[in-house]
Amino acid sequence: MKKLLLLALVLLLSACAQPEPAQSDLFAMDTIINVKIWGNEAEDALHAVTQKINDSSARFSVTTEGSELYLLNQDGSAALSEDFSSLLAQAVSLSERTGGAFDPTVYPLVRLWGFTAQEYHVPNAYELEQTLQLCGLQKLHLFGANATLGAGAMLDLGAIAKGWTGQHCAELLESYNIDAALLALGGNVQTVGTKPDGSAWVIGIANPETPSEAIATLRFTGSRAVVTSGSYQRYFEEDGIAYHHILNPQSGLPAQSGLLSVTVIADDGTLADALSTALFVMGLDDATAFWRESDDFEAVFITDSGEIFASEGAASLLSDCVFTVIAR
């Protein structure tokens, strides 16, 4: 009898246990990527997703010689692939919507600061002024599937391409018989479906002071994008001053908006990625006003005094921290 009970317990436990997902780690799009997929066609789906990620890397990398973006920047004009056109159209519309806080034409500034080659340089006022003249959405001309850049203008899709890729991987997974997937592309997380045991996704928000640790946790079920932009993610120090990689397109300087990080939660990964960058540039007050005018995302802000603010919808998903709710 005892043996039977034990067997029943083991069977029950194994029925509840999460089946192992198919998973893969890769380095692409300038970051470490981890993909986990649960379900019958998980291995095939993993293969397809890996291909999509490598394809995005080859298309949207600003530094890879021969990538679609690299050639556009080098030649000043190009006939765009369907994927590139779709991403660029969304980039332009999100740049307009955020009043230029997210600006895909900042690449001359990103290069000036040396963030691309990691040969860092604090520019002087003259260099900044000259380089600012090469930036701005008016330098990008789209005619159907053709793009032309003004003299010296160059695009950087680093603030949006990972979100776009996560979202398009999620769309690709719809044609596979899988239960769930979790894609972590650096600070970009895309969830798909619900894990076989029905448990919630648990996504940590990095502590900007000690990024390998979580300062707060988001819990939810279903498909969503969770994207964090933070000054801790890439920076260099010179003469005791830290200069980070999220630039204010108006001044050309690293955005000093009083925030250490912004996490955006949305159904659309492309939007989440561009907005996390834009809200970081805006700062808490302008970002709050922007959120109140919108209905397609939620956000968690960490200020440079260590306070956490969460928009109403994000607050209902947030735990393991003390925070202030931003009401509608």
Where along the sequence are the contacts to ligand AMP (CB under 6 A)? 102-104, 106, 110, 115, 156, 158-159, 229, 233-234, 245-247, 249, 273, 276-277, 281
Burial class (CB in 10 A: 0-12, 13-18, 19+), 75: exposed
Provide the pairing of β-strand 259-266 with 224-230: antiparallel
Among 159, 205, 259, 310, binds Mg ion (CB under 5 A): 159
What is the footprint of Mg ion within residues 26-55 (CB under 5 A)? Answer: none
- 261: phi then psi, degrees, rounded to nearest 5: -160, 155
- Tell the smallest beta-carbon distance from residue 260 to ligand AMP (Å): 13
166 binding partner (options Mg ion, ligand AMP, none; Cβ < 5 to 8 Å by kind): none
Count the alpha carbons within 13 Å of 269 in the hemisphere toward its beta carbon: 24
Among 156, 179, 273, 298, binds Mg ion (CB under 5 A): 273
**313 forms bridges with which residues in the sheet?**
none
179 binding partner (options ligand AMP, Mg ion, none; Cβ < 5 to 8 Å by kind): none
Q: Which two tokens stand for residue 53?
A: 């990620």
Nearer CB in complex with ligand AMP: 263/276 = 276
Among 167, 191, 277, 311, binds Mg ion (CB under 5 A): 277
What is the footprint of Mg ion within residues 216-235 (CB under 5 A)? Answer: 229
154 binding partner (options Mg ion, ligand AMP, none; Cβ < 5 to 8 Å by kind): none
- Tell the smallest beta-carbon distance from residue 18 to ligand AMP (Å): 31
- Interface with Mg ion: number of residues (CB under 5 A): 5
Among 324, 250, 235, 325, CA closest to 282: 250
> What are the residues binding Mg ion (CB under 5 A)?
159, 229, 273, 276-277
